[in-house]
């Protein structure tokens, strides 16, 4: 896929900056300036997903994440965002099912096993959740994963396990 051209890349960077500042309204305004061709570019779609996610508009977020997976299947983020959107839509079994192939496809990305641990935990499969959380800890570091997991309500059933992680 061709990279974004000027001025589209300027608008997408500006939108990304607005998102870093927590302003989804201004980010969305910048994204409306991107050309029609630029709207289907992965970088544009990634920022668009952030806008929907911040607004907790999970159906729109899912649609955009699916587009990222379609146009840029080599990006782990699309797979992660798609599953996260499904989970937020209370479709956790589907979130788990669609993220599992990404664990093989992107074996060094710690977010994938971390999210799989969350989904397994929420689906009541605590032993599987522990396996995925260990994998995330192996990739990102035990302290970092413990810190994330301590505050993650999806992993609340594993709080006692975190000390032995």
| All domains in the chain, ordered by first residue | 1-99 (1.25.40.10), 107-165 (no CATH)
pLDDT confidence tier of residue 1, bands split at 50, 70 and 90: low
Residue range 141-156: mean pLDDT, rounded: 96
Q: What is the pLDDT of residues 58-111, one digit of tens each?
A: 999 999 999 999 999 999 999 999 999 999 999 999 999 999 999 999 999 999
Residue range 33-56: mean pLDDT, rounded: 97
pLDDT at site 121: 97
Measured at the CA of 60, the angle between CA 110 and CA 64, to 5 degrees, comes to 55
- Residue 81 is given by DSSP the state H
DSSP H/E element including 6: none
Cα–Cα distance, 135 to 118 (Å, whole number): 13
Exposed, middle or buried, 103 (CB in 10 Å: 0-12/13-18/19+)? middle
Q: Is the pLDDT of residue 122 over 80?
A: yes
């Amino acid at each position: 896929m061709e990279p974004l051209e000027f001025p589209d890349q300027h608008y997408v960077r500006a939108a990304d900056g607005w998102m870093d500042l927590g302003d989804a309204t201004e980010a969305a305004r910048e994204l409306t300036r991107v050309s029609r061709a630029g709207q289907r570019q992965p970088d544009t779609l990634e920022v668009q997903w952030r806008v929907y996610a911040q607004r907790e508009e999970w159906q729109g977020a899912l649609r955009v994440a699916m587009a990222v997976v379609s146009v840029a299947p080599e990006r782990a983020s699309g797979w992660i965002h798609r599953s996260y959107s499904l989970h937020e839509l209370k479709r956790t079994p589907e979130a788990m099912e669609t993220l599992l192939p990404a664990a093989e496809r992107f074996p060094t990305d710690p977010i994938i096993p971390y999210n799989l641990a969350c989904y397994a935990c929420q689906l009541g499969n605590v032993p599987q959740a522990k396996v995925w959380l260990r994998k995330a800890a192996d990739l990102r570091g035990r302290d970092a994963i413990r810190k994330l997991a301590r505050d993650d309500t999806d992993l609340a059933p594993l709080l006692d396990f975190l000390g032995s992680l």
